[in-house]
Structure 1
């Protein structure tokens, strides 16, 4: 089987998910060519697992001070380049195209009639799950950004639908959490403001990953650049995680058992929807505004939650090799059966109750 795998490069979460898939695909002997779009080629890091990958400009968004900048996003978008790249990309030499919310391979496969599977968190939103509903245009864009005939969505709960558990990279990570240490990853916020908030909570030691403050020690805050290995080490050693409401990092934090405070990127409906789900399931604390007082209160009052997710990547690769896209429900059900219940949250499928009931979810905790 020869596969073309497109990955949305705007956020590191998509790339993290692709790393886990790359490892399992290589172990299974699959031939995979990776394509990334959404950031400048020089901004990718620690990419050796993907071999001779290709990059395209694609589409991305612009955020400033914790808020999506729609005007700047539109100005940055090069739709002519996108159209040309879609027309130029030849997918006919592949048995299958996979898109993790990457539009170029998705639309190229659609134009050329090549089977395409959408794989990733965004594809869970085709179902009736917790979501932010105040922006109809943004919902339409998310539904049509990277189309796929078969869609494998992932989320923290199946909500009664054929949705996968989170795919975790680095499931063998050594867990040596220190109660006084806090990992901070807020790439869409103003880093100087973040540093000031953290300095206002002197009883804790913070490890801040950002790209616009020089690495070093600033009082009770140690600043790091972007490195996958260093980030994973810090994640393994910090009992608490302060981050945006993206999917992958919050999933890794839940796998390890971390106290989480998640702030959604304002205007980004996926992150707002994620915050709603985290609240409903009682998995993390969320907030719309950050400051020292909010951080202090979270660290002193919030609990740690841990969920042991199965090896989703390995199961998905085996499912791909079976060449049977009709048993998505069986794939999802088998994986959730391997996910232990957490504080009354039932992860087991009830085939007789396929629709999500908010009241049932909120009654679990």
Structure 2
């Protein structure tokens, strides 16, 4: 079984899911996976060892500034002729199965050559029963056409539809030690200097702030760290709470490890706004639509208890399903996984 697995690398969450799937697929020696990443320059990818000799394409990406999605700059920043050439040159017929986690080169190459593409990711979970916020006609069109698939396997925090499974997690065993007295902060779409200054305003609290552009230093009550997988997961395990944007994967990890979350969705980005709506509907986190000092102060003083959640091992189930040619109905997988005891 030869699988081409495309991963959108604009956000770290897609890569985190792919890392879990890579480990799970390695348990099937008859499966040969070629990984393809796009949406971020190759030199800015890190901790990519699980993917071996992976392929890279420019793909398509989104431009954000100061916590907002910038549509005009996004349109100007992408190299469309390069994208078209990459789609035309990708030989999807060499594979038995083509899978994409919202990666557009693999998705469109399959569509061009009439080879069915299977989508596995959070973006395929927005059906009629899933909470949605901020979806204009333009955003709906972009979301539908960005990485089109023949079949979508959605991932979410609740079974909003028959095609939806619990989150795929790339986490070590759950921490057993008591949490330390600091808050982990990961707001990659914000101005990092502004974030540090904002956190300095809560001088009675300690923070660890992560971003790919930060140096390893200390600014008053804020330790700043360059993004890396091992350090981040270690600090997440010991944090008493998390302040972050509304990306699906990190919040899934927080819910699984029962960390209180204060989250700020990326403005004008439908997926993150909808994640915020889902969290509010489910009562799983505190959501602020913009930086709110009063709300933050109240949350820091007394973070609401995290919900008593833990999710099953979805990556192992999906790896076995893919190794078998993805034959069983997704609804059958969902019924089994939502009813499984948690993998803690």
User: Which is worse superposed, 300-309 or 71-80?
Assistant: 300-309
What is the total number of aligned residue pairs between the two structures? Answer: 340
Task: Give the drift of 1:193.
Answer: 1.4
In the alignment, the residues of structure 2 paired with residue 169 and residue 284 of structure 1 have an alpha-carbon distance, to the nearest angstrom, of: 21
Residues 248-287 of structure 1, C-alpha deviations (whole Å, 9 max, x = no match)? 0000000001000110000110000000000000000000
In the alignment, the residues of structure 2 paired with residue 53 and residue 324 of structure 1 have an alpha-carbon distance, to the nearest angstrom, of: 23
Q: Is the 8 A contact 2:243 2:262 kept in 1?
A: yes
Task: Give the drift of 1:296.
Answer: 1.6
Q: 1:324 to 1:96 in 2, by over 3 A?
A: closer
Matched, 1:251 2:252: yes
Task: Give the drift of 1:295.
Answer: 1.9
Task: Give the drift of 1:175.
Answer: 4.4
Report what 1:28 is aligned to: 28
Task: Give the drift of 1:323.
Answer: 2.6
**C-alpha RMSD of matched pairs (Å):** 1.5
Task: Give the drift of 1:204.
Answer: 1.8
Task: Give the drift of 1:304.
Answer: 2.1
SS in 1 for 2:243: strand
Q: Is the 8 A contact 1:182 1:239 kept in 2?
A: yes
Q: Is the 8 A contact 2:16 2:249 kept in 1?
A: yes
Report what 1:275 is aligned to: 276
Q: 1:39 to 1:324 in 2, by over 3 A?
A: closer
What residue ranges of structure 2 are gaps of 5+ in the alignment? none
SS in 2 for 1:204: coil
In the alignment, the residues of structure 1 paired with residue 38 and residue 32 of structure 2 have an alpha-carbon distance, to the nearest angstrom, of: 20
Q: Is the 8 A contact 1:197 1:291 kept in 2?
A: no
Matched, 1:240 2:209: no
Q: Is the 8 A contact 1:37 1:58 kept in 2?
A: yes
Task: Give the drift of 1:163.
Answer: 0.5
Q: Is the 8 A contact 1:98 1:117 kept in 2?
A: yes
Task: Give the drift of 1:115.
Answer: 3.0
TM-score between the two structures when normalised by the length of structure 1: 0.90
Once the two structures are superposed, the pairs formed by residues 127-138 of structure 1 within 5 Å of their partners are 127-138=128-139
Task: Give the drift of 1:306.
Answer: 3.6
Q: Is the 8 A contact 2:152 2:163 kept in 1?
A: no
In the alignment, the residues of structure 2 paired with residue 317 and residue 211 of structure 1 have an alpha-carbon distance, to the nearest angstrom, of: 30
SS in 1 for 2:167: coil
TM-score between the two structures when normalised by the length of structure 2: 0.95
Report what 1:210 is aligned to: 211
SS in 1 for 2:94: coil
Q: Is the 8 A contact 1:154 1:163 kept in 2?
A: yes
SS in 2 for 1:33: strand
Task: Give the drift of 1:339.
Answer: 5.2
User: Which is worse superposed, 204-213 or 116-125?
Assistant: 204-213
